Amino acid sequence: MGQILSNPVVEKEHHSGFDSFTSFGLCAMQGWRMSMEDSHVVELNVMEDDDKDHIAYYCVFDGHGGSTVAQYCGFNAANVLKRQTSFQNGNFRQALIDTFLAIDEDLLDNHSFKNDHSGCTATSLLISKLNKVLLCGNSGDSRTVLSTSGYAKALSFDHKPTLASENSRIVAADGFVEMDRVNGNLALSRALGDFEFKSNKKLSPYEQVVTCIPDVIQHTLNYEDDEFVILACDGIWDCLSSQECVELIHYGISLGNMSLNDISSKIIDVCCAPSTDGPGIGCDNMSIVIVALLKDEETTEQWFERMREKKYSNFISFEERRRRVFQYFKFPEGDNDSLFDITTKKNHNHLNHGLTIDDSMEIDDTDDDADKHVRTQGGSVDLFSLEALLDSSGIRISQDGNNTSYIHGAALTEMLASLSGATANELRRQDRIDEYEEDDIEDEDNENNIKNEDDSDD
């Protein structure tokens, strides 16, 4: 499960925004991990000419081996997308692929990343108002899910080394899979960065042991059925199935007093492990974005009303879901107030990981030290917490000759494969819980046997 802290860092990063096309709520939290390695992009419209089309762009990047690649992606992905010829020509499927390839090329060309061994998964979403389509580009085990009529529809599938198609590529590139990991090391088979797994110069980027190439799934929008999209890192999906997450969001909507921001925050509360004594789930960084799909001229509040009018029922509460996720933990019986003690500290704004902000967008962030903000390409970054965070870890922010900011330092196959990957993930989660409980029972039996032997000796 990696190195973990004695107590989780539970201050949360919150963002929300809306325009006439989409509305979103975002929450991210470091949790039990030694550092925060997630970043994200939330762009309500990446089109310079709004009369041509209205394109919303959302991404979640989940770093591993360090945060530098994920941070670079968060700061630069939107601009990399916009410079692609395929994007400018309206070929959005190819644009998502070209963007991932271009990011890897930019990282390789950047001297600051020469000795950097970090990488990140990426799940990205383009929504075209003109064409009424969703396109998801996914590389790794972060995941994007569509809620349609209350049911989860996979817009991505998890790239694990154990999948037959992924295993075949790995072996063909002279790699191997051991302990469900690429070369016994990496738990996922596609990622940005991770160049130690992409060093075979005889092979194309598509053929490397680990490839950055995303699988792209396209979905035609039907606003009567299609409700919202979830983008989240595997810290969420280790704890919740796609359907469970959809149902939790609908439950939050039904309460009538929660924003998308509130709901995303509560889902992280549900998923954060109450302790590190269990099988390891809930101890990862966590990031989740909920994107509401608005009809023409529909406000966010009208969207909430439309969702509640569907009158879904039988969705279990946040409290009950938390009890089920961490069923090995002895929560106080009937005491729902104490279920979320681990995450109820006062929230503070932390590093705005890759946030880009449209001028028409309303953001709920507040900061008493307004002078510590710097405007970047379409957005702002809170440098007060940023400087303190990076200085303490020996990481620096620099700009190249093109005024591009970067952080450096030491520091489908088919839809069936998607559902199979998600199901396998859930089975592994339950297996870990069952194995933990069996070990716990076995330890208790051993203690009883020892006690009986002692009693007989007396």
Q: What is the pLDDT of residues 306-345, one digit of tens each?
A: 999 998 988 999 999 999 999 999 888 877 878 998 987 5
Residues of the chain with pLDDT > 70, as a percent, come to 75
Kindly write down the DSSP assignment for every residue of 344-371, as one continuous string. -SPP-----TT----TT-------S-GG
What is the residue whose two structure tokens read 């390891």? 280
Give the model's pLDDT for residue 373: 32
Q: Which two tokens stand for residue 126?
A: 């383009």
Helix (H) or strand (E) run with residue 38 in it: strand 38-43
Segments of 130-239 assigned E as strands: 133-139, 143-148, 151-154, 177-178, 181-182, 192-193, 215-220, 226-232
Across the range 187-191, mean pLDDT stands at 94
- Provide CB contacts within 8 A for 270, sequence distance 6+: 239, 240, 248, 318, 321, 322, 325
Among 164-173, 243-252, 434-443, where is mean pLDDT lowest? Answer: 434-443
pLDDT in the model for residue 458: 47
Q: Which of 177, 176, 173 is nearest to 198 (CA)?
A: 173
Indicate whether 288 pLDDT > 60: yes
DSSP reduced 3-state for 286: strand
**Residue 2: what pLDDT?**
63
Report the pLDDT value the prediction gives residue 447, as an integer from 0 to 100. 52
* Position 137 pLDDT exceeds 80: yes
183: exposed, middle or buried (Cβ count in 10 Å: 0-12, 13-18, 19+)? middle
The pLDDT of residue 444 is 54
Tokens of 35: 């550092």
In this structure, what token pair is assigned to residue 16? 């929300």
State if pTM tops 0.75. Answer: yes
DSSP conformation class of 329: S
**Residue 398 confidence (pLDDT):** 47
pLDDT higher than 60, residue 393: no
Residue 331's contacts (CB-CB under 8 Å, 6 or more residues apart) are 274, 322, 323, 338, 339
How big is the chain, counted in residues? 458
The reported pLDDT for the residue numbered 125 is 98
Q: What is the pLDDT of residues 55-92, one digit of tens each?
A: 999 999 999 999 999 999 999 999 999 999 999 999 99
Instruction: Report percent pLDDT > 90 for the chain.
Output: 65
CA angle 354, 360, 362 (to 5 degrees): 70
The per-residue pLDDT for 337 is: 78
pLDDT in the model for residue 277: 87
Q: Which domains does the chain have, with CATH numbers?
A: 9-435 (3.60.40.10)
Calculate the average pLDDT of the chain.
Answer: 81
pLDDT over 70 (residue 441): no
pLDDT mean over 124-153: 96
pLDDT score recorded for residue 417: 44
Average pLDDT over residues 12-31: 94
CB 140 within 8 A of CB 188: yes
410 confidence band (pLDDT: 50, 70, 90): very low
What number is the average pLDDT over the span 394-408? 47
Distance between CA atoms of residues 148 and 141, nearest Å: 22
**Burial (CB count within 10 angstroms: exposed 0-12, middle 13-18, buried 19+), residue 199:** exposed
Residue with the larger pLDDT of the pair 423 and 164: 164
**Which residues, in sequence order, are CB contacts of 219 under 8 Å at separation 6+?**
133, 134, 135, 136, 146, 153, 155, 226
pLDDT tier, 446 (very low <50, low <70, confident <90, very high otherwise)? low
Count of Cβ atoms closer than 10 Å to residue 62 Cβ:
27
Alpha carbon separation from 61 to 226, 354, 356 (Å, rounded) = 24, 10, 14
Residue 111: alpha-carbon gap to chain centroid: 28
Mean pLDDT of 159-167: 94
